[in-house]
Structure 1
Amino acid sequence: MGPWARMVCSLFLLLQVLAEPAENSDFHLAGDYLLGGLFTLHANVKGTVHLYYLKVPQCKEYEMKVLGYNLMQAMRFAVEEINNQSSLLPGVLLGYEMIDVCYVSNNIHPVLYFMAQDDFLPIQADYTYYVPRVVAVIGPDNSESVSTVASFLSLLLLPQITYSAISDQLRDKRRFPALLRTMSGAKHHVEAIVKLMVHYGWNWIIVLVSNDEYGRDNSQLLTERLSGRDICIAFQELLPTPQNNQEETLEEHQRLGAIVDKLQQSTARVVVVFSPDLVLHNFFQEVLRRNFTGAVWIASESWAIDPVLHNFTELHRIGTFLGITTQSVPIPGFSEFRVRRWQAGLPHSSRPSQEGTCNQECDTCFNTTESFNTILTLSGERVVYGVYSAVYAVAHALHSLLRCDQTGCSNRTVYPWQLLQEIRKVNFPLLGHQIKFDTEGDMAMPLEIIQWQWDMTQNPFQSIASYSPTTEKLEVIKVVSWHTPNNMVPVSMCSKSCQSGQKKKSVGIHPCCFECIDCLPGTYLNQTADEYDCQVCPSNKWSHRSDTSCFHRRLAFLEWHEAPTIIVAVLTLLGFLSTLVTLLVFWRHFQTPVVRSAGGPMCFLMLVPLLVAYMVVPVYVGLPTVATCLFRQTLFPLCFTTCITCITVRSFQIVCVFKMASRLPRAYGYWLRYHGPYISVLCIIALKVVIVVGNLLTNSPNPTTRTDPDDPQIMIISCNPNYRSGLLFSTGLDLVLSVLGFSFAYTGKELPTSYNEAKFITLNMTFYFISSVALITFMSVYNGVLVTIMELLVTVLNLLAISLGYFGPKCFTILFYPERNTQAYFNSMIQGYTMRKE
């Protein structure tokens, strides 16, 4: 028989069972309005075994689930507590029908039973005024069963409140319009786990999931929540599903052994497990057999507070167990109620038992639960509050729908969709918490991170942190007792965190595995922007190796307090005073032969620019500005060129007077008649103006900065980035004039002593030429502030050479040898020169 044939036969048998409705539950309480309860008293994680055997599953053949029975008792307790109160539903008796769903094996049968009316479920076009057996359903506990049940109950809009199914798919109101939950969804559970890992700095984890919808959905959600958190999954494995009654097969044993081997080989020491509790028994036995220790085990809510697993006391030596669960809310009187035997004995059904069906029998439930009573009491009854509050939510909705007052309630028919509307609107306090549902039907119950303890004198699931779904914040409230020496927080990182100023270089495929590399000088690491690349500092900033920010480079320029500046200032002052004295002396002795032989009025054309040039020298000192740069590039070149031009023209004029006048008398006549010396000076200065203006148009006078090649922490601020080419072009004319002046002076070296200025002009022109060439050469190989110092020093020395070298001897003659400053003395010198030439 093929699988499809077996499935058809199974469905046929199921419909046959439905045709003869199941007996009233042994866990039955008659009442005016019945609540349906779906709980896992026995568990079989495979869930589909009956499809292969063509047999309705025998629930009591599976493992007894302590927590399921405990939750069922919570529903009984809540219903009886409400019935004993006269204020909530006066005159109304709540009843219940509770059925064992065997984890996922027996979902459809109970829900059809709840939906039936007088053991019959009619097919109708409109179920608006249909009244099912129960007014609401509490449960079941896992997402797979809840989605199956909710698909049926949605037909009637029969309210269903689950107490522990966290799948976010259940939030879809288009698929599950009648479903509500008295706990937070999977998003908040996973987010709490992620924040726990962030808090302790764990970024290298292992994820183990069960091979079912619960494991797959939660692992996918965890992967999504980890994106962008710098937390990596070293590997993820599917845990094999055990066979009936937890019998471990050879294939399962080999599979579990392979998983534990990977755990031992991995450097990750944090293991997150999304799985039902029954899947984990064989797994942890294998972990113990292979002696894998030192891990941090993070339990999902499905097994975080499971007393049976916790009773496996050997687990305490394999590491630290942490789990995510709902907040502990003690319910007064419930612990005593759980172990109290029913005084009247078990109620008996009026119908004969149908063998071979999954009914409400649980022969071992009471005794087993009683043996776990201590651990259940100490654990704080966490999930129990979800069932307790669900029953109270239905009761408050009935209170509103039946228009109850202090004395009684109206006796009316309750339709499911009416009750669902009222349940969605409930808002009341219950044991310190506000019971209300959001638009998706969830209740924002706080979560807790718990640690397993094996000291039975205290809570076996001690709370170490709390998580608020509304604020999405994790608050650590207690120090964890780690399994490490000195109680140090375990480390689970693929790579240690980089130090400040170190970038990450990925190693392998995981972003959590990397090498740390120092950021080079001139770069910095901005972790908020990119941890894998060092950013380059702006041009005006710099950084040291492994810096996280840039600092402003120190601006370097010639300052007044520096020794070279002081020396240049003294020389400038000396030159200025000497030039000023020379100007006064020449003004005082303007008609004397010495002044006239030096050039007469042309001397003042040289002395005045010299004074201006000395006055311009201070613009070389201090922070450059547009004004100071403009003075440096215009006024000073013009002043200095004027002096050089006058000296050159003066040298040419002396040669003309004594050598060319006799040979070229007509040319000499034109030279004198048309003021040849002044026109020459004017033309050369006009040419210099053109050069200066062209240089300004080409190179802006705005100050610019450049990096000191010898020290990148320093920015040299200067007037123009192309000052070298501009300086060379500007001084080119001066160099030509100096060469001409030297040539003319050398030609007239045999002239009369009083007129012979060749040795002074030659000295000046030679000094200027050599110093200028040396300065240009120096600037071509060096880029520091010393360039500015050398440029200023050479400039001042050239000015001094003119002031003292050219005008100095003449002032000396005027002041100390006045007898030589006579016309007779000059005539005698000329006669002696003429006689020697003849």
Structure 2
Amino acid sequence: MGPQARTCHLLFLLLHAVTKPGELVENSDFHLAGDYLLGGLFSLHANVKSISHLSYLQVPKCKEYDMKVLGYNLMQAMRFAVEEINNCSALLPGVLLGYEMVDVCYHSNNVQPGLYFLAQDDDFLPILQDYSHYMPHVVAVIGPDNSESAITVSNLLSHFLIPQITYSAISDKLRDKKRFPAMLRTVPSATHHIEAMVQLMLHFHWNWIVVLASNDDYGRENGQLLSQRLVNTGDICIAFQEVLPIPEPSQGMRPEEQSQLDSILDKLHRTTARVVVVFSPELALRNFFLEVLRWNFTGLVWIASESWAIDPVLHNLTELRHTGTFLGITIQRVSIPGFSEFRVRHTKVEHPVANKTNPRATCNQECDACLNITESFNNILMLSGERVVYSVYSAVYAVAHALHRFLSCNQIRCTKETVNPWKLLRELRQVNFTLLGNQLFFDQNGDMPMILDIIQWQWDLSQNPFQSIASYSPTHQRMSFIANVSWHTPNNTIPMSMCSKSCQPGQSKKPVGLNPCCFECMDCPPGTYLNRSADEFNCLPCPASTWSHKNGITCFKRRQAFLEWHEASTIMVAILAALGFFSTLAVLLIFWRHFQTPMVRSAGGPMCFLMLVPLLLAFGMVPVYVGPPTVFTCLCRQAFFTICFSICLACITVRSFQIVCVFKIARRLPRAYGFWVRYRGPYVFVVFITAIKAVLVAANMLTTTINPIGRTDPDDPNIMILSCHPNYRNGLLLNTSMDLLLSVAGFSFAYMGKELPTNYNEAKFITLSMTFSFTSSTSLCTFMSIYDGVLVTVMDLLVTVLNFLAISLGYFGPKCYMILFYPERNTPAYFNSMIQGYTMRKN
């Protein structure tokens, strides 16, 4: 005998062991003969999970437990759907659906109904090698209502591939089609319920919550799902999570349970969290909420899981309205015409006798008090109770549509044939129909993507006290808010539930402890900003060209500072540059006109033009200092001006040396003098100095850059100073050092020739020019080491222009004066007489 045969044999023995024919009571609410029977599993009576009935081999008597109002309401929904389908000519014409209902008593009676549905009409479950053509008592099973019971029943039915559609078991375990191949459900999975809760909390900015879960599979699984979801979100934290004690059936709380509950309520009293999420079967919550009332809690937000979100018995504790606002996640409300009257109908509708005329009876198919108690809750059940009712209603219709396709029904008749459950399961997975305005089908996980409602408990409404405030779509995984909430707070304000208050814009979060929801708010300093979408804990520095004020959330473009034409300093320097340009141009023309005269030749002859042309170009290029710097202007500032100035200084220096050489060194070192003249020593010296200067400038540019950059104004961070490169000062100091050496050399040679004839004596003019150049360059370096900003650019330009003016006017000015106003002194005879007089004085 194989493992599957042994399993079936044991199930057969258990079926006969747990069934007592003498106790079977037939009740028309539980039976309806038909061509094809549907099994129904509902919790008409409820008791908390207990092990007391496991001490004997007998099915517990559910009628001894308290009645579960919603359970009978759901069973009536199945009866209503079957009768509606039987009375409908468009669906299954000529076919009569029947049903067998069993009260599973919540958790206590799951195995016996499963075996009952598996057995044939003679109560036997044969041991076969091939069950492909086996016909069990029912073709499909609707229910049960909770995940633990659904898993237990599915472990039996799945071996025979009997379709099972549960209407309120949300466990994610049921999505495993390898383990539960025949399991379908008309309710979204727990993942979607958790997601709806999280989006609800995010919408109201609740990031500090308490989670209470029952000590069973339902509480543990949903509590773990919520914790994992919050870890992934990172925006909501759990202040603490506790396990609610579940009392034994028909017993009060034991001392240890009371102590545990008091500890939980004490922590709830001391915490700053105002939102409490409760995952628990409704049966375990009555004692808990009675204790909540005893502790006088107020101002809390209670978020109910689907197991107790619309429980009328808990809602009957009207004093709960003073503890805060009750919100819950449940199935959407769909009004089913005629069901409210059917639910409390006393008369029994007779149906024609079906082919199967010998309905059997099994345990727990009676509920004498069900109708009367349902009538007492009819006002609450009306509309609000039809949320889960629609899940049962749609489950029955799904089976009917699958049968309609399997039996090849048309508008008149169906082909009645044997329906093997595994074939019906294949059709059931493919159903797609519209029912009361909703498009219904099963996805790849066997779930029907029903809309979820977020409801609020009301106590001032006689009907439908569970008002919808929002809806959640499992297909789009998005919540849409459709109504306002009536908060049980002063001025109807939204309750705050945060470990720390929200930071103001531009404030970063500094974590306190290990919980990311607990933090201090720190101001972002100037020059930084906070991008909450990217990082709430770190202030990011602004890009170089931007700035921000304290507590900035964005960076603004800094005001760029550079030399502009409309400034007074620019206008003044421009006037000086224009004066230098036109005066140099005039000198150039005068010297060109009187090129052959002794005065021009004594000033240097052709070398004068080597000085005047760079001076003229330099004055003309002064505008490159004005406006925002570019690569071209930076090149001009750092290379062109300094090379032009060095050429002029080199020419003056070599001219001073040449004058001394003519009158002193020529007679002492004639060979050296001849070599100097033969190989054009002055021009070689100027080219050599210019080459060295060009190498220094090029090296400085290669080691840094000529691209303009922006620097923060130390006095005003809102201003960005535009300059040529960060080592501008170092480059200027390097270039100036060489110019200073030339100035000192020129000054020294000029001083050595102070006793020369008046026409050749240029010492005082060269001394004045070199002294001014040396002093101005030293002052500029000192100024740049102390100050920063646009003022440095102004001083640099001013010193450059004055140095060029000193050369243009200080050196060439007196000579032009002599040429224009004393032409008689600009003759060879006059120069010869001056040389003879100097020679006679020396002798």
Quick one: distance in 2 between partners of 1:670 and 1:726?
37
**Would you say the 8 A contact 1:277–1:303 is kept in 2?**
yes
Quick one: distance in 2 between partners of 1:694 and 1:182?
80
Tell me the residue number matched to 1:4.
Answer: none
Give the superposition deviation at 1:25.
Answer: 4.4
Query: Equivalent of 1:39, from 31, 37, 42?
Result: 42
RMSD: 2.8
Tell me the residue number matched to 2:108.
Answer: 105
Q: Is 2:60 the counterpart of 1:71? A: no
Quick one: distance in 1 between partners of 2:675 and 2:182?
120
Distance of aligned partners of 1:670 and 1:472 in 2 relative to their CA distance in 1, 3 Å threshold: closer
Q: Is 2:262 the counterpart of 1:261? A: no
Superimposed CA distance per residue, residues 479-534 of structure 1 (whole angstroms, 9 cap, x where no aligned partner): 11100111111111112222222222111222111112122223222223222222
Give the superposition deviation at 1:344.
Answer: 8.8
Q: Is 2:527 the counterpart of 1:526? A: no
Tell me the residue number matched to 1:808.
Answer: 813
Distance of aligned partners of 1:684 and 1:365 in 2 relative to their CA distance in 1, 3 Å threshold: closer
Give the superposition deviation at 1:742.
Answer: 1.1
Tell me the residue number matched to 2:386.
Answer: 381
Tell me the residue number matched to 1:745.
Answer: 750
Give the superposition deviation at 1:321.
Answer: 0.8
Distance of aligned partners of 1:38 and 1:16 in 2 relative to their CA distance in 1, 3 Å threshold: same
Tell me the residue number matched to 1:315.
Answer: 320
Give the superposition deviation at 1:338.
Answer: 1.9
Quick one: distance in 2 between partners of 1:672 and 1:399?
122
Quick one: distance in 1 between partners of 2:450 and 2:367?
31
Could you tell me which runs of 5 or more consecutive residues in structure 1 were left unpaired when the two chains were aligned: 1-8
Quick one: distance in 1 between partners of 2:381 and 2:256?
35
Question: SS of the counterpart of 1:245?
Answer: coil
Tell me the residue number matched to 1:5.
Answer: none
Question: SS of the counterpart of 1:383?
Answer: helix
Equivalences, count: 824
Query: Equivalent of 1:161, from 157, 165, 171?
Result: 165
Give the superposition deviation at 1:691.
Answer: 4.0
Tell me the residue number matched to 2:485.
Answer: 480
**Would you say the 8 A contact 2:19–2:363 is kept in 1?**
no
Bigger Cα displacement from structure 2, 479-488 vs 787-796: 787-796
Distance of aligned partners of 1:63 and 1:644 in 2 relative to their CA distance in 1, 3 Å threshold: same
Quick one: distance in 1 between partners of 2:80 and 2:664?
137
Letter in 2 for 1:278: L
Query: Equivalent of 1:790, from 795, 798, 818?
Result: 795
Quick one: distance in 2 between partners of 1:195 and 1:701?
55
Distance of aligned partners of 1:315 and 1:769 in 2 relative to their CA distance in 1, 3 Å threshold: same
Query: Equivalent of 2:592, from 587, 609, 613?
Result: 587
Letter in 2 for 1:163: Y
Give the superposition deviation at 1:824.
Answer: 4.9
Bigger Cα displacement from structure 2, 139-148 vs 589-598: 589-598
Tell me the residue number matched to 2:146.
Answer: 142
Quick one: distance in 2 between partners of 1:591 and 1:363?
140
Query: So what's the TM-score if we normalise by structure 1?
Result: 0.92
Letter in 2 for 1:17: V
Query: Equivalent of 1:83, from 73, 86, 105?
Result: 86
**Would you say the 8 A contact 2:103–2:364 is kept in 1?**
yes
- After superposition, residues 114-133 of structure 1 pair within 5 angstroms as 114-117=117-120, 118-133=122-137
Quick one: distance in 1 between partners of 2:559 and 2:384?
66
**Would you say the 8 A contact 2:172–2:189 is kept in 1?**
yes
Tell me the residue number matched to 2:300.
Answer: 295
Bigger Cα displacement from structure 2, 294-303 vs 169-178: 169-178
Quick one: distance in 1 between partners of 2:636 and 2:96?
105
Quick one: distance in 2 between partners of 1:84 and 1:606?
117
Tell me the residue number matched to 1:3.
Answer: none
Superimposed CA distance per residue, residues 154-198 of structure 1 (whole angstroms, 9 cap, x where no aligned partner): 122112121111112112111111221122222222211111111
Question: SS of the counterpart of 2:480?
Answer: strand
Quick one: distance in 1 between partners of 2:608 and 2:11?
128
Bigger Cα displacement from structure 2, 614-623 vs 151-160: 614-623
Quick one: distance in 1 between partners of 2:222 and 2:335?
28
Distance of aligned partners of 1:832 and 1:287 in 2 relative to their CA distance in 1, 3 Å threshold: same
Distance of aligned partners of 1:667 and 1:304 in 2 relative to their CA distance in 1, 3 Å threshold: closer
Quick one: distance in 1 between partners of 2:700 and 2:373?
102
Question: SS of the counterpart of 1:500?
Answer: coil
Q: Is 2:18 the counterpart of 1:17? A: yes
Quick one: distance in 1 between partners of 2:694 and 2:586?
29
Tell me the residue number matched to 2:4.
Answer: none
- After superposition, residues 545-556 of structure 1 pair within 5 angstroms as 545-556=550-561
**Would you say the 8 A contact 2:380–2:463 is kept in 1?**
no
Q: Is 2:565 the counterpart of 1:567? A: no
Quick one: distance in 2 between partners of 1:542 and 1:376?
63
Tell me the residue number matched to 1:199.
Answer: 203
Quick one: distance in 1 between partners of 2:228 and 2:702?
62
**Would you say the 8 A contact 1:708–1:784 is kept in 2?**
yes
**Would you say the 8 A contact 1:163–1:181 is kept in 2?**
yes
Quick one: distance in 1 between partners of 2:468 and 2:548?
47
Bigger Cα displacement from structure 2, 761-770 vs 688-697: 688-697
Question: SS of the counterpart of 1:759?
Answer: helix
Letter in 2 for 1:308: V
Distance of aligned partners of 1:266 and 1:599 in 2 relative to their CA distance in 1, 3 Å threshold: same
Give the superposition deviation at 1:267.
Answer: 0.9
Quick one: distance in 2 between partners of 1:16 and 1:534?
72
Quick one: distance in 1 between partners of 2:334 and 2:687?
105
Give the superposition deviation at 1:710.
Answer: 3.8
Query: Equivalent of 2:475, from 470, 484, 500?
Result: 470
Letter in 1 for 2:115: L
Quick one: distance in 1 between partners of 2:325 and 2:371?
32
Letter in 1 for 2:430: K
Bigger Cα displacement from structure 2, 518-527 vs 254-263: 518-527
Quick one: distance in 2 between partners of 1:720 and 1:480?
62
Tell me the residue number matched to 1:221.
Answer: 225
Could you tell me which runs of 5 or more consecutive residues in structure 2 were left unpaired when the two chains were aligned: 1-9, 351-356
Letter in 1 for 2:533: T
- After superposition, residues 323-722 of structure 1 pair within 5 angstroms as 323-342=328-347, 359-665=364-670, 667-672=672-677, 675-722=680-727
Superimposed CA distance per residue, residues 790-826 of structure 1 (whole angstroms, 9 cap, x where no aligned partner): 1211111111111111221222222233344445544
Letter in 1 for 2:39: G
Question: SS of the counterpart of 1:227?
Answer: helix
Tell me the residue number matched to 1:766.
Answer: 771
Query: Equivalent of 1:61, from 59, 64, 89?
Result: 64
Superimposed CA distance per residue, residues 626-677 of structure 1 (whole angstroms, 9 cap, x where no aligned partner): 3333333443333222222222222223333443445445554555555444
**Would you say the 8 A contact 1:699–1:722 is kept in 2?**
yes
Query: Equivalent of 2:255, from 234, 250, 253?
Result: 250
**Would you say the 8 A contact 2:34–2:96 is kept in 1?**
yes
**Would you say the 8 A contact 2:17–2:57 is kept in 1?**
no
Query: So what's the TM-score if we normalise by structure 2?
Result: 0.92
**Would you say the 8 A contact 2:19–2:58 is kept in 1?**
no
Give the superposition deviation at 1:427.
Answer: 2.5
Letter in 2 for 1:549: T
Superimposed CA distance per residue, residues 206-241 of structure 1 (whole angstroms, 9 cap, x where no aligned partner): 111111111111112222222333111111111100
Quick one: distance in 1 between partners of 2:672 and 2:387?
122
Bigger Cα displacement from structure 2, 469-478 vs 376-385: 376-385
Give the superposition deviation at 1:115.
Answer: 1.3
Distance of aligned partners of 1:695 and 1:370 in 2 relative to their CA distance in 1, 3 Å threshold: closer
